[in-house]
Chain A
Amino acid sequence: MEELFYIFSFIAIFSALMVVIMRNPLTSALYLILCFFALAGLYVMLDMQFLAAMQILVYAGAIMVLVVLVIMLLNISRIKNVKSDLHQKIIGILIALILFIEIIVYIYNGAQKNPTGIFTEALIKKVGNTKIIGQFLFTVYMLPFEIASVLLLVAIVGAYLFAKKKY
């Protein structure tokens, strides 16, 4: 199992780097999909099958399709005249450093030694977290779930109104 972790994390880091380095936006987008798949693999290793499926369905499936569609519509084959801005580089490095420190601090402090609650690791292994999430979604969080459906309907109406050329 440990080898799998290293393979997935290597793929994730490598493809994330390629997203930044590649000059062709479409290639970047495809590398981003690869990154999402690698992350999904990591989620599966953490017994988060539902999260992994959602990662692939929503991110790699739906959102990346939109990104690729926009790239195709704009017809950008290659980013030209890239100005290397020193300020941008400094700010980027600073933000990356801050995020890195944040992750280190989080891992150092946030790792809970004894997880509490009714959902023990053994139970999740036995039932699978998809079933638990489903049960919660249709009992405890039923009202938010229904409200989300109406919210999406309103969003569709709004998209339709804005996209319409003329009333």
Chain B
Amino acid sequence: MHNMPSIYGMNFLEKSMLGIIPETVIIIFAFFVLFLAFFEKLAKRNNSYYLSLIGIVFSILYVLMLAGRNISGFYGSFVFNGFDAFLFIAILFSGLFTVLMSKDYIENSGMPAPEYYSLILFGLSAMMFLVSSNNLIMVFLSLEFMSICAYILTGYIKDNTRSTEAALKYFVLGAFASAFLLFGSVFIYASTGRLNLYGIHSFLQNVSYLGVAGSGGSIGIKVYISAGLILFLIGLAFKMSLFPFHSWTPDAYDGAPTPVTNFMATGIKLAAFAIFLRIYSLIYDFNVMNFNDILWLLAVFSMTFGNIAALLSTNIKRLLAYSSIAQAGYILTGIIGGGFYGYSGTLFYLLSYIFMTAGAFSVVIIFENSNLISLDIKKYSGIGYKYPFIAASMSFFLLSFAGIPITSGFMGKFYVFSSAVKSGYNWLVIIALLNSAFAAFYYIKIIVKMYMPDKEPAAASSNSSVQGNIPEIAGGAIDEGIMITIIICLILTLFMGIFPQIFINFANNSAGFLWRI
């Protein structure tokens, strides 16, 4: 019979299991939460909410415990090292915020809680598997796993046609994208004969793939692998919502329940960028084709299109969706910049992006929860005086999106753009800077709306002041989970802006692991 690699020795299973403990903990808690749905009494109260919070906290603790190790297990199906530890923490934070902000939302809309939280947890574990996967099969499977959780959660509001429509659109387009990804992996496998990412890496290092005739006949390996990498890029670009593959983003973000929108905007985007970063550093970096030119175009179009569309949109969720497309363009700039600084800058930007986005969405949820304000941006006028803290934090997050100094968004953009300049992509950075100046306009437009209400309706209805039009939050109480989210996001956004050195050191450490094969 064939010989299995015998590098693992006796305690192969123990070693392998150690690396997937964070994911396993999340999956076990997801099963517990799902199990609660059997019992009506247990499902009615907030048990599933607290249980999933505990699960996520446990998983974070396990990641911290494992942080220094470098584990590869299950015959190289996955790898856990500093790079994964950084991204696991970021992903788990995104899940933590999603769970924290969805308590009241779930109660108000009457959706079944246990299934919802278990799907969030399953989605989290899928993202972690995706980040740490080191095998084309694992990449595809965990990407599908993650997407299926997202499809179900998008259509979670039962009687809402917008939600169902969004889920259907997302599902059909996502299935197409997955097919592209699978087709791409088949091409890569066909040309290299390996599924392991490190294996493909060493194959490309050793074999002169540029030769005219490869082993596959008269068409060389180069053609096959370029076709495979392009198709693979399409599949991942869909998940990253880059320009030509973005069309699902506004609809899905708009139709989904707002906590799920946050989950998609932070978690899924983070996981997709993380796996793209790993594959880019291992395979795309060989420059089989001029992939950087393709990525250059994608980044420029994503930024420009996202910003122009965000300027024209009047719904705050759609605006944030378009702005997330633009942000994906900025993040891609760091990957194009490449090298050690580019990757660590990208990681820093991804981390800061999570906190800004989660903060902005939790403010949206506060107003959506109490049915005070619809998602129309016009309705936000004047809330700056009624709810000073919430409005101030929203403005801070929006300023961070725009990249104003002392926010984390500024530092993230700084690192990403400076790495691109170092690699000589001057035009890309000039376009990106113009774009972020342009984007500041619509972010600041919302802040202006919040603090300077329009005067015309006030003049029409003579005595009633503008501020009087904004109703009180029912009972005057905001769910403490959302407040905790906003406060954590606020502190970290500020902290990453003022003392970026601590976080960039983390990012540097974890980016260094990409080269330690």
Q: What is A's interface to B at a CB cutoff of 8 Å? A: 108-112, 116-119, 123, 127, 132, 135, 139-144, 147-148, 150-151, 154-155, 157-158, 161-162, 166-167
Chain B residues with CB under 8 Å of A139's CB are 4, 75
Chain A residues with CB under 8 Å of B122's CB are 150, 154
Question: Known: A150-B122, A158-B148, A158-B152. Is A144-B141 also a contact (CB below 8 A)?
Answer: yes
B196 → chain A closest CB, angstroms: 10
Chain A residues with CB under 8 Å of B111's CB are 167
Is B408 positioned at the interface, with any CB of A under 8 Å from its CB? no
Asked if residues A111 and B217 are in contact (CB atoms below 8 Å), the reply is yes
* Docked CA distance A154–B142 (Å): 12
Within 8 A of A (CB), among B436-463: none
Asked if residues A141 and B115 are in contact (CB atoms below 8 Å), the reply is no
A-B residue pairs, 6 tightest by C-beta: A158-B152, A109-B217, A143-B74, A143-B77, A140-B75, A151-B145
Additional pairs, 17, CB under 8 Å, beyond known A144-B138, A154-B148, A167-B158:
A109-B219, A112-B216, A118-B3, A119-B2, A139-B4, A140-B4, A140-B75, A141-B137, A142-B77, A143-B74, A144-B141, A151-B144, A154-B149, A157-B34, A157-B119, A161-B156, A167-B112
* Docked CA distance A154–B122 (Å): 8
Question: Known: A157-B152, A161-B115, A162-B155. Is A144-B2 also a contact (CB below 8 A)?
Answer: no
* Docked CA distance A127–B82 (Å): 42
Asked if residues A154 and B145 are in contact (CB atoms below 8 Å), the reply is yes
Asked if residues B77 and A141 are in contact (CB atoms below 8 Å), the reply is yes
Which of the residues A108, A144, A151 comes within 8 Å of B135, measured between beta carbons?
A: A144
A86 → chain B closest CB, angstroms: 28
B367 → chain A closest CB, angstroms: 25
Which of the residues A109, A123, A155 comes within 8 Å of B216, measured between beta carbons?
A: A109
A136 → chain B closest CB, angstroms: 9
A68 → chain B closest CB, angstroms: 23
* A127 (CB) vs chain B CBs: closest residue: B1
Which of the residues A142, A148, A161 comes within 8 Å of B74, measured between beta carbons?
A: A142
A56 → chain B closest CB, angstroms: 23
B164 → chain A closest CB, angstroms: 9
Is B211 positioned at the interface, with any CB of A under 8 Å from its CB? no
Is B151 positioned at the interface, with any CB of A under 8 Å from its CB? yes
* Docked CA distance A147–B78 (Å): 12
Is B510 positioned at the interface, with any CB of A under 8 Å from its CB? no
* Docked CA distance A111–B1 (Å): 26
Residue of A116, A118, A147, A148 contacting most chain B CB atoms (<10 Å):
A147
B111 → chain A closest CB, angstroms: 7
B378 → chain A closest CB, angstroms: 33
* B118 (CB) vs chain A CBs: closest residue: A157
B34 → chain A closest CB, angstroms: 7
Interface string of B134-178 (1 = CB under 8 A from A): 010110011011001101100110100000000000000000000
Chain A residues with CB under 8 Å of B78's CB are 143
* Docked CA distance A123–B3 (Å): 13
Chain B residues with CB under 8 Å of A140's CB are 4, 74-75, 77
Interface string of B1-44 (1 = CB under 8 A from A): 11110000000000010001000000100000010000000000
* Docked CA distance A32–B149 (Å): 33
Which of the residues A109, A143, A157, A167 comes within 8 Å of B138, measured between beta carbons?
A: A143
* Docked CA distance A76–B359 (Å): 52
Is B218 positioned at the interface, with any CB of A under 8 Å from its CB? yes
Interface string of B116-128 (1 = CB under 8 A from A): 0011001001100
